[in-house]
């Protein structure tokens, strides 16, 4: 039996980029084949159907995003400064012409009233995992109850940035809105 001669992580990364750009429904299997460079038989034998491919892309996105959050917060002088850096980075990214928003949120919007509840649930779980990471950091700073509330507040602002960035000329407006909405963060250092 022949073994697959490709890097699975590389293929999942390519799938993530394709699905993140186009969404589930607008990505044809022909586009999947073109993006990965694999033949249809190899894709199906190694990964399964389109739903499995999309799930793998969502999970890759979630894990990559969580790694970035932890790296940003852990490398900052304090947790709160790390969250400021993270939010400021999201705002700055939103001004890029190639900015695509959050893959998880895009999936929730696309799958909300569709027949792909399992993919909707995976995206929702990814968002809950991200919030869990923030909650863990903020609970250390503020205790359980306030840490949970503040993690929710950061998530609302973080995801608001990603949705509100429909125009590239709102960066300063977003920055002022985030500063106003999260006054307990040390914005004076930025």
User: What is the average pLDDT score of the chain?
Assistant: 91
pLDDT at residue 95, as a whole number? 82
86-95 mean pLDDT: 92
Close Cβ partners of 6 (under 8 Å, ≥ 6 residues apart): 36, 37, 38, 42, 46
> For 13-49, b where at least 16 C-beta lie within 10 A, e where not — what string?
bbbbebbbeebbeebeeeebeebbebeeebbeebbee
Looking at residue 94, what is its pLDDT? 87
Q: Is 17 helix (H, G, I), strand (E, B) or coil?
A: helix
Is residue 43 within 8 Å of residue 32, measured between CB atoms?
yes
Q: Which whole number is the average pLDDT over 135-152? A: 98
Task: Report residue 160 as tokens.
Answer: 């608001």
pTM confidence score = 0.90
Give the model's confidence band at 12: pLDDT under 50 very low, under 70 low, under 90 confident, else very high: very high
Contact 40, 29 (CB under 8 A): yes
The predicted structure's pLDDT at residue 3: 52
Confidence of residue 98 (pLDDT cuts 50, 70, 90): confident
């Amino acid at each position: 039996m022949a073994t697959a001669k490709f890097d699975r992580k590389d293929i999942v990364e390519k799938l993530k980029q394709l699905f993140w750009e186009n969404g589930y429904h607008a990505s044809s299997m022909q586009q999947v084949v073109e993006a990965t460079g694999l033949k249809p038989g190899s894709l199906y034998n190694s990964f399964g159907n389109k739903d499995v491919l999309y799930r793998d892309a969502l999970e890759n996105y979630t894990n990559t995003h969580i790694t970035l959050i932890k790296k940003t917060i852990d490398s900052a002088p304090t947790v709160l400064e790390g969250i400021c850096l993270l939010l400021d980075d999201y705002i700055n990214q939103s001004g890029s012409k190639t900015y695509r928003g959050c893959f998880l949120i895009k999936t929730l919007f696309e799958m909300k009233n569709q027949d792909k509840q399992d993919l909707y649930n995976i995206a929702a779980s990814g968002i809950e995992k991200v919030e869990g990471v923030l909650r863990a950091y903020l609970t250390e700073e503020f205790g359980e109850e306030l840490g949970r509330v503040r993690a929710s507040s950061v998530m609302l602002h973080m995801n608001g940035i990603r949705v509100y960035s429909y125009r590239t000329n709102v960066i300063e407006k977003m920055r002022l809105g985030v500063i106003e909405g999260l006054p307990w963060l040390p914005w004076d250092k930025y």
